[in-house]
Structure 1
Amino acid sequence: MGKIVISENVTLDGVVQDPMGDEGSEGGGWFLRSSEADRGEWAELERKEALEAEALLLGRRSDEWFATRWLTRSGEWADRLNGMPKYVVSATLDTPRWSNATVLRGEVVEEVSALKQRVEGEIVVYASSRLVPTLLEHDLVDELRLTVHPVLLGTGRRLLGEAGGVIPLRLVDTRLVGEGLVLLTYRRGTAGPAGLS
Protein backbone atom coordinates (compact mmCIF):
# COMPACT_ATOMS: atom_id res chain seq x y z
CA MET A 1 0.00 0.00 0.00
CA GLY A 2 1.22 3.47 -0.87
CA LYS A 3 1.93 6.31 1.51
CA ILE A 4 0.84 9.86 0.61
CA VAL A 5 3.51 12.40 1.61
CA ILE A 6 2.86 16.13 1.35
CA SER A 7 6.21 17.84 0.76
CA GLU A 8 5.93 21.63 0.78
CA ASN A 9 7.89 24.82 1.19
CA VAL A 10 6.06 27.26 3.45
CA THR A 11 6.74 30.62 5.04
CA LEU A 12 6.75 30.90 8.81
CA ASP A 13 3.10 32.00 8.63
CA GLY A 14 2.15 29.07 6.39
CA VAL A 15 2.00 30.78 2.97
CA VAL A 16 2.74 28.59 -0.06
CA GLN A 17 1.67 31.00 -2.79
CA ASP A 18 4.15 32.26 -5.38
CA PRO A 19 7.46 31.06 -3.89
CA MET A 20 9.46 31.99 -7.00
CA GLY A 21 7.69 35.31 -7.69
CA ASP A 22 6.44 34.38 -11.16
CA GLU A 23 2.76 34.90 -10.20
CA GLY A 24 3.41 38.54 -9.34
CA SER A 25 1.67 38.34 -5.97
CA GLU A 26 2.47 40.58 -3.02
CA GLY A 27 5.35 38.93 -1.20
CA GLY A 28 6.07 36.62 -4.13
CA GLY A 29 9.61 35.29 -4.50
CA TRP A 30 9.95 34.46 -0.80
CA PHE A 31 11.76 31.17 -1.56
CA LEU A 32 14.62 33.17 -3.10
CA ARG A 33 15.12 35.16 0.13
CA SER A 34 16.86 32.15 1.68
CA SER A 35 20.62 32.07 1.27
CA GLU A 36 22.21 30.24 -1.63
CA ALA A 37 23.80 27.82 0.84
CA ASP A 38 20.41 27.06 2.44
CA ARG A 39 18.84 26.49 -0.98
CA GLY A 40 21.71 24.13 -1.80
CA GLU A 41 21.02 22.09 1.34
CA TRP A 42 17.31 22.13 0.48
CA ALA A 43 18.05 20.87 -3.04
CA GLU A 44 20.02 17.92 -1.65
CA LEU A 45 17.14 17.07 0.68
CA GLU A 46 14.69 17.20 -2.23
CA ARG A 47 16.96 15.13 -4.47
CA LYS A 48 17.10 12.36 -1.88
CA GLU A 49 13.34 12.51 -1.40
CA ALA A 50 12.79 12.13 -5.15
CA LEU A 51 15.14 9.15 -5.36
CA GLU A 52 13.19 7.39 -2.59
CA ALA A 53 9.70 8.18 -3.95
CA GLU A 54 7.71 5.82 -6.15
CA ALA A 55 5.40 8.39 -7.75
CA LEU A 56 4.20 11.99 -7.71
CA LEU A 57 0.61 13.17 -7.19
CA LEU A 58 -0.17 16.66 -8.49
CA GLY A 59 -2.95 19.05 -9.36
CA ARG A 60 -3.30 20.40 -12.91
CA ARG A 61 -1.51 23.70 -12.25
CA SER A 62 1.41 21.96 -10.55
CA ASP A 63 1.74 19.59 -13.51
CA GLU A 64 2.10 22.59 -15.82
CA TRP A 65 4.46 24.48 -13.50
CA PHE A 66 6.84 21.56 -12.96
CA ALA A 67 6.80 20.49 -16.61
CA THR A 68 8.00 23.90 -17.80
CA ARG A 69 10.90 23.82 -15.32
CA TRP A 70 12.04 20.19 -15.28
CA LEU A 71 11.62 18.71 -18.75
CA THR A 72 14.64 20.62 -20.08
CA ARG A 73 16.90 19.68 -17.15
CA SER A 74 19.24 16.72 -16.86
CA GLY A 75 21.18 15.03 -14.10
CA GLU A 76 20.23 12.49 -11.46
CA TRP A 77 17.52 14.58 -9.76
CA ALA A 78 15.91 15.78 -12.99
CA ASP A 79 16.10 12.35 -14.59
CA ARG A 80 14.37 10.81 -11.58
CA LEU A 81 11.60 13.42 -11.47
CA ASN A 82 11.02 13.34 -15.23
CA GLY A 83 11.03 9.53 -15.37
CA MET A 84 8.93 8.58 -12.35
CA PRO A 85 5.18 7.91 -12.68
CA LYS A 86 2.99 10.95 -12.07
CA TYR A 87 -0.71 11.18 -11.39
CA VAL A 88 -2.50 14.46 -12.10
CA VAL A 89 -5.88 15.15 -10.49
CA SER A 90 -8.04 17.14 -12.90
CA ALA A 91 -11.58 17.20 -14.24
CA THR A 92 -10.60 19.30 -17.26
CA LEU A 93 -7.13 18.18 -18.36
CA ASP A 94 -6.85 15.88 -21.38
CA THR A 95 -3.10 15.57 -21.72
CA PRO A 96 -0.67 16.19 -18.85
CA ARG A 97 2.32 18.41 -19.61
CA TRP A 98 4.92 16.57 -17.53
CA SER A 99 6.38 13.29 -18.73
CA ASN A 100 5.12 9.83 -17.73
CA ALA A 101 1.87 11.24 -16.29
CA THR A 102 -1.66 9.87 -16.04
CA VAL A 103 -4.76 11.99 -15.44
CA LEU A 104 -7.03 10.95 -12.56
CA ARG A 105 -10.44 12.18 -13.76
CA GLY A 106 -12.91 10.65 -11.33
CA GLU A 107 -13.91 11.66 -7.83
CA VAL A 108 -10.72 12.71 -6.02
CA VAL A 109 -11.15 10.65 -2.85
CA GLU A 110 -11.95 7.45 -4.76
CA GLU A 111 -9.14 7.96 -7.29
CA VAL A 112 -6.47 8.68 -4.66
CA SER A 113 -7.66 5.83 -2.43
CA ALA A 114 -7.36 3.45 -5.38
CA LEU A 115 -3.93 4.89 -6.22
CA LYS A 116 -2.72 4.17 -2.68
CA GLN A 117 -3.79 0.55 -3.17
CA ARG A 118 -1.96 0.22 -6.50
CA VAL A 119 1.34 1.95 -5.74
CA GLU A 120 3.80 0.61 -3.18
CA GLY A 121 5.99 3.18 -1.44
CA GLU A 122 5.85 6.96 -1.18
CA ILE A 123 3.55 9.00 -3.40
CA VAL A 124 4.83 12.56 -2.96
CA VAL A 125 2.65 15.64 -3.43
CA TYR A 126 4.49 18.84 -4.42
CA ALA A 127 2.75 22.25 -4.48
CA SER A 128 -0.92 21.44 -5.34
CA SER A 129 -2.29 23.69 -2.59
CA ARG A 130 -5.86 23.16 -3.78
CA LEU A 131 -5.54 19.36 -3.68
CA VAL A 132 -3.84 19.08 -0.26
CA PRO A 133 -6.82 20.22 1.89
CA THR A 134 -9.06 17.62 0.22
CA LEU A 135 -6.52 14.88 0.89
CA LEU A 136 -6.22 15.96 4.54
CA GLU A 137 -9.97 16.22 5.10
CA HIS A 138 -10.49 12.67 3.84
CA ASP A 139 -7.65 11.13 5.88
CA LEU A 140 -5.59 10.25 2.81
CA VAL A 141 -2.35 11.92 3.96
CA ASP A 142 0.14 9.77 5.84
CA GLU A 143 2.89 12.36 6.36
CA LEU A 144 3.51 16.10 6.00
CA ARG A 145 7.05 17.38 5.38
CA LEU A 146 7.09 21.14 5.69
CA THR A 147 10.26 23.07 4.92
CA VAL A 148 9.76 26.35 6.77
CA HIS A 149 11.41 29.46 5.35
CA PRO A 150 12.19 32.26 7.85
CA VAL A 151 9.95 34.94 6.41
CA LEU A 152 6.54 36.31 7.43
CA LEU A 153 4.33 37.56 4.59
CA GLY A 154 1.04 38.28 6.35
CA THR A 155 -0.86 37.63 3.13
CA GLY A 156 -1.19 34.92 0.52
CA ARG A 157 -2.72 31.47 0.08
CA ARG A 158 -1.86 29.15 2.92
CA LEU A 159 -1.33 25.43 2.52
CA LEU A 160 -3.78 24.41 5.22
CA GLY A 161 -6.03 27.45 5.16
CA GLU A 162 -9.01 25.65 3.65
CA ALA A 163 -8.82 22.28 5.42
CA GLY A 164 -12.10 21.67 7.22
CA GLY A 165 -12.32 20.54 10.82
CA VAL A 166 -9.66 19.69 13.35
CA ILE A 167 -6.88 17.45 12.04
CA PRO A 168 -4.61 16.17 14.83
CA LEU A 169 -0.97 15.78 13.85
CA ARG A 170 2.04 14.34 15.63
CA LEU A 171 5.50 15.87 15.18
CA VAL A 172 7.92 13.01 14.44
CA ASP A 173 11.05 14.87 13.35
CA THR A 174 12.63 18.32 13.32
CA ARG A 175 15.70 19.03 11.24
CA LEU A 176 17.75 22.12 10.48
CA VAL A 177 18.37 22.53 6.75
CA GLY A 178 21.35 24.74 6.14
CA GLU A 179 21.42 27.63 8.61
CA GLY A 180 17.97 29.11 8.17
CA LEU A 181 15.45 26.49 7.05
CA VAL A 182 13.67 23.95 9.25
CA LEU A 183 12.13 20.68 8.06
CA LEU A 184 9.15 19.65 10.20
CA THR A 185 7.75 16.15 9.69
CA TYR A 186 4.27 15.32 10.94
CA ARG A 187 2.09 12.22 10.85
CA ARG A 188 -1.59 11.82 11.63
CA GLY A 189 -2.41 11.32 15.31
CA THR A 190 -1.93 12.85 18.72
CA ALA A 191 1.14 14.62 19.99
CA GLY A 192 4.14 12.53 21.01
CA PRO A 193 7.91 12.81 21.30
CA ALA A 194 9.77 14.41 18.42
CA GLY A 195 13.34 13.74 17.32
CA LEU A 196 15.83 16.48 16.62
CA SER A 197 18.55 15.81 14.08
Structure 2
Amino acid sequence: DIVIGRVLWQEWSEYWPAAESDFFADFINPAAKHVIASTLDGVLGWNSTLIDGDPVGYVRTLRAGDGGGITVAGGIETIRSLFLAGVVDALTLTVHPAVTGEGRRLFDETVPVTRLRLVDHAITPAGNAMLTYALRD
Protein backbone atom coordinates (compact mmCIF):
# COMPACT_ATOMS: atom_id res chain seq x y z
CA ASP A 1 0.00 0.00 0.00
CA ILE A 2 1.09 3.56 -0.68
CA VAL A 3 0.12 6.66 1.30
CA ILE A 4 0.45 9.73 -0.87
CA GLY A 5 -0.36 13.43 -0.66
CA ARG A 6 -2.82 15.12 -3.02
CA VAL A 7 -0.39 17.09 -5.18
CA LEU A 8 1.89 14.14 -5.94
CA TRP A 9 -1.14 11.85 -6.45
CA GLN A 10 -2.60 14.28 -9.00
CA GLU A 11 0.71 14.51 -10.88
CA TRP A 12 1.30 10.76 -10.87
CA SER A 13 -2.32 9.82 -11.69
CA GLU A 14 -2.11 11.93 -14.84
CA TYR A 15 1.14 10.33 -16.02
CA TRP A 16 1.72 6.78 -14.74
CA PRO A 17 -1.48 4.96 -15.81
CA ALA A 18 -0.60 5.53 -19.47
CA ALA A 19 3.19 5.27 -19.11
CA GLU A 20 5.17 2.58 -20.86
CA SER A 21 5.93 -0.44 -18.76
CA ASP A 22 9.04 0.04 -16.65
CA PHE A 23 10.11 -0.80 -13.11
CA PHE A 24 8.25 2.07 -11.46
CA ALA A 25 5.12 1.87 -13.61
CA ASP A 26 4.86 -1.84 -12.90
CA PHE A 27 5.09 -1.05 -9.17
CA ILE A 28 2.88 2.03 -8.88
CA ASN A 29 -0.02 1.24 -11.21
CA PRO A 30 -1.42 -1.89 -9.49
CA ALA A 31 -0.59 -0.72 -5.95
CA ALA A 32 -3.33 0.35 -3.56
CA LYS A 33 -2.98 4.08 -3.01
CA HIS A 34 -4.35 5.99 0.01
CA VAL A 35 -4.59 9.72 -0.71
CA ILE A 36 -4.32 12.43 1.94
CA ALA A 37 -6.34 15.38 0.66
CA SER A 38 -8.85 17.87 1.98
CA THR A 39 -9.80 19.23 -1.43
CA LEU A 40 -10.73 16.01 -3.25
CA ASP A 41 -13.94 14.04 -2.98
CA GLY A 42 -15.73 11.17 -4.65
CA VAL A 43 -14.24 8.14 -6.36
CA LEU A 44 -10.61 8.72 -7.31
CA GLY A 45 -9.83 5.79 -9.62
CA TRP A 46 -6.32 4.38 -10.25
CA ASN A 47 -6.65 1.96 -7.29
CA SER A 48 -6.92 4.96 -4.98
CA THR A 49 -8.87 5.59 -1.78
CA LEU A 50 -9.39 9.02 -0.27
CA ILE A 51 -8.36 9.12 3.39
CA ASP A 52 -11.36 10.37 5.34
CA GLY A 53 -10.48 12.06 8.62
CA ASP A 54 -7.21 11.93 10.52
CA PRO A 55 -4.34 10.72 8.29
CA VAL A 56 -2.20 9.60 11.25
CA GLY A 57 -5.02 7.49 12.68
CA TYR A 58 -5.71 6.07 9.22
CA VAL A 59 -2.06 5.04 8.79
CA ARG A 60 -2.01 3.50 12.27
CA THR A 61 -5.06 1.42 11.33
CA LEU A 62 -3.46 0.47 8.00
CA ARG A 63 -0.27 -0.60 9.79
CA ALA A 64 -2.27 -2.75 12.23
CA GLY A 65 -3.70 -4.74 9.31
CA ASP A 66 -2.03 -7.70 7.63
CA GLY A 67 -1.36 -6.07 4.27
CA GLY A 68 2.42 -5.92 4.53
CA GLY A 69 4.62 -2.86 4.13
CA ILE A 70 3.33 0.66 3.62
CA THR A 71 5.16 3.21 1.52
CA VAL A 72 4.70 6.94 2.07
CA ALA A 73 5.39 8.64 -1.23
CA GLY A 74 4.97 12.28 -0.35
CA GLY A 75 4.85 15.16 -0.67
CA ILE A 76 6.90 16.94 1.92
CA GLU A 77 4.03 17.83 4.29
CA THR A 78 2.68 14.26 4.17
CA ILE A 79 6.06 12.68 4.94
CA ARG A 80 6.92 15.22 7.63
CA SER A 81 3.59 14.91 9.47
CA LEU A 82 3.68 11.10 9.49
CA PHE A 83 7.36 11.09 10.52
CA LEU A 84 6.68 13.47 13.42
CA ALA A 85 3.68 11.35 14.49
CA GLY A 86 5.96 8.31 14.82
CA VAL A 87 4.30 6.11 12.20
CA VAL A 88 7.35 5.93 9.90
CA ASP A 89 9.78 3.05 10.54
CA ALA A 90 12.21 3.66 7.68
CA LEU A 91 13.03 6.30 5.09
CA THR A 92 14.00 5.60 1.51
CA LEU A 93 15.54 8.72 0.06
CA THR A 94 16.24 8.96 -3.65
CA VAL A 95 19.13 11.18 -4.71
CA HIS A 96 18.77 12.29 -8.33
CA PRO A 97 21.88 13.13 -10.36
CA ALA A 98 20.96 16.81 -10.72
CA VAL A 99 21.59 19.99 -8.76
CA THR A 100 18.91 22.65 -8.96
CA GLY A 101 20.08 25.01 -6.23
CA GLU A 102 16.56 25.42 -4.91
CA GLY A 103 13.72 23.55 -3.29
CA ARG A 104 12.10 22.94 0.06
CA ARG A 105 13.72 20.93 2.82
CA LEU A 106 12.08 17.64 3.73
CA PHE A 107 13.19 17.99 7.34
CA ASP A 108 13.19 21.49 8.77
CA GLU A 109 13.58 22.96 12.25
CA THR A 110 10.31 21.33 13.39
CA VAL A 111 11.89 17.87 13.19
CA PRO A 112 13.98 16.78 16.19
CA VAL A 113 17.40 15.21 15.75
CA THR A 114 16.75 11.61 14.72
CA ARG A 115 19.50 9.02 14.35
CA LEU A 116 19.26 6.75 11.32
CA ARG A 117 20.97 3.52 10.27
CA LEU A 118 21.59 2.66 6.59
CA VAL A 119 19.90 -0.69 5.89
CA ASP A 120 19.83 -0.82 2.08
CA HIS A 121 21.10 1.02 -0.97
CA ALA A 122 20.84 0.70 -4.73
CA ILE A 123 21.73 2.61 -7.86
CA THR A 124 19.08 2.76 -10.59
CA PRO A 125 19.91 2.55 -14.31
CA ALA A 126 19.31 6.31 -14.48
CA GLY A 127 21.97 6.89 -11.82
CA ASN A 128 19.65 7.62 -8.89
CA ALA A 129 20.95 6.53 -5.50
CA MET A 130 18.22 4.93 -3.40
CA LEU A 131 19.18 4.95 0.27
CA THR A 132 17.00 3.25 2.89
CA TYR A 133 17.47 4.18 6.52
CA ALA A 134 15.86 2.61 9.58
CA LEU A 135 15.21 4.69 12.64
CA ARG A 136 17.66 3.76 15.40
CA ASP A 137 16.18 2.52 18.65
| TM-based fold match above 0.5 | yes
Bigger radius of gyration among the two? 1
Structure 1 residue ranges (4+ consecutive) displaced by more than 4 angstroms after TM superposition: none
2:18 matched to 1:72? yes
Match of 1:115 in 2: 62
Mapped partners of 1:135, 1:83: distance in 2: 24
Map Cα deviations across residues 72-94 of structure 1 (whole Å, 9 max, x no partner): 23537535522221101122320
1:158 to partner: Cα distance: 2.0
The residue number in structure 2 matching 1:47 is none
Q: Provide the residue aligned with 1:4 in structure 2.
A: none
Q: Give the superposition deviation at 1:61.
A: 1.0
The amino acid of 1:67's aligned partner reads S
Q: 140-149 or 91-100: which moved more?
A: 91-100
Amino acid at match of 2:21: G
Percent identity at matched positions? Answer: 33
In the alignment, which residue of structure 2 is the partner of 1:61? 7
Aligned residue for 1:185? 132
Question: Bigger relative contact order, structure 1 or 2, given CA contacts below 8 A and separation 6+?
Answer: 1
Q: Deviations over 1:106-162 (max 9, x none)?
A: 112111111111252122222321100011111111111112124443321122236
Shift of residue 174, structure 1, vs aligned partner: 3.5
Structure 2 unaligned segments of length 5 or more: list them.
none
* Superposed CA RMSD: 2.5
* TM-score, scaled relative to structure 1: 0.59
Is 1:138 matched up with 2:85? yes
How has the CA–CA distance of structure 1 residues 120 and 70 changed in structure 2, closer, same or farther, with 3 Å as cutoff?
Answer: same
Alignment CA distance shift 1:84-1:176 (3 Å): closer
Change (3 A) 1:81 1:177: closer
Report the counterpart of residue 13 of structure 1 in structure 2.
none
- How many correspondences in the alignment? 136
Superposition map of 1:95-174 within 5 A? 95=42, 97-161=44-108, 163-174=110-121
The answer (yes or no) to whether the contact 2:4–2:73 under 8 Å persists in 1 is: yes
Long gaps (5+) in structure 1: 1-54, 191-197
- Equivalent pair of 1:133/1:159 in contact (CA under 8 Å): yes
How far 1:168 moved relative to its partner? 2.0
Would the aligned equivalents of 2:4 and 2:72 in 1 still touch at CA under 8 Å? yes
TM-score by length of 2: 0.81
